[in-house]
Amino acid sequence: MTPAPPAPLSRQPPSRLAFTAASTPAACVERDRLVARYGDHPMEEADVIVCLGGDGSMLETLRDVLVRELHTPVYGMNCGSVGFLMNPTDEANLPERLSQAQAATLHPLRMKATSIHGETCEALALNDVYLFRQTRQAAKLRIDVDGYVRLEELICDGALLATPAGSTAYNLSAHGPIVPLSGNLLPLTPICPFRPRRWRGALLPSNAHVTFTVLEHEKRPVAAVADSVELRDITRVEVCEDRNLSVTVLFDPGQTLSDRIVTEQFCA
């Protein structure tokens, strides 16, 4: 039996819209046009937040929603390049289109990184958390899952843990598997592994707690990134999915995130 498509956001067109935009000229011009046509409200008072830009701008807006603890859905309009999380830019009948939009709920990863100086940094990631070498020397990592050592030593350029939404981004470029939104799985993927040469990663349950320990960190410095938040010279990174936090992303009918993730698996 074919599952029913996600329900639309609302039957009533939203009247209070908030607009955010990337700093590019195209996004700023489009924002001015939309604000002149539909008005603009603070994010805290809006029914829907409309983000103009590319996937990077969309992730920044979604993180802002998470940090502010808002529950406002976000609709992206592509003024960038790839726009995997975005919809086509169309100024006409925007409130009516938003009333028929279909929603995807995303949960972020929570990263806690510790540096060689004892500093800690916590950040949220809707795409991925990844570690990468800072110098010509390959990184050496130990990987623990739920308190058990699963890989004693991984010699590599880095490693990443991705969300299902982020599995089509850096994870896919690193030859990791694409994960459906409903899969409740997190891909753990090495970046250019040297040893063990044949290890290609793992699919972990969404409730897994992953710890990366940097071996020989003074000789082989490593940085950690949660989407756009970076901490250098780290010794330890803990990552898990935070099911207590979520954001809602809106897509035009027939172009849901689940549809796009499936389509991506058949691209040449």
Q: Please tell me which residue in 55, 144, 242, 252 is annotated as part of the active site.
A: 55
Is 32 known as a binding-site position? no
Is 171 known as a binding-site position? yes
Is 259 known as a binding-site position? no
Residues 20 and 56 sit within 8 Å (Cβ to Cβ): no
The two three-digit tokens of residue 59, written as one number: 């992730």
DSSP for 212-265, please give it: EEEETTTTS-EEEEETTEEE-SEEEEEEEE-TT--EEEEE-TT--HHHHHHHHT
Q: Is 55 considered catalytic here?
A: yes
Is 165 known as a binding-site position? yes
Looking at the chain, list the stretches that DSSP marks H as alpha helix, in order from N- to C-terminal side.
Answer: 25-38, 55-67, 94-99, 170-173, 257-264
The two three-digit tokens of residue 221, written as one number: 């410095």
Is 157 known as a binding-site position? yes
Which residues neighbour 101 within 8 Å (Cβ) at sequence distance 6 or greater? 8, 9, 73, 75, 250, 251, 252, 253
Is 128 known as a binding-site position? yes
Is 168 known as a binding-site position? yes
Is 148 known as a binding-site position? no
Active site residues: 55
| Residues of each annotated binding site for NAD(+) | 55-56, 127-128, 157, 165, 168-173
| Residues of each annotated binding site | 55-56, 127-128, 157, 165, 168-173
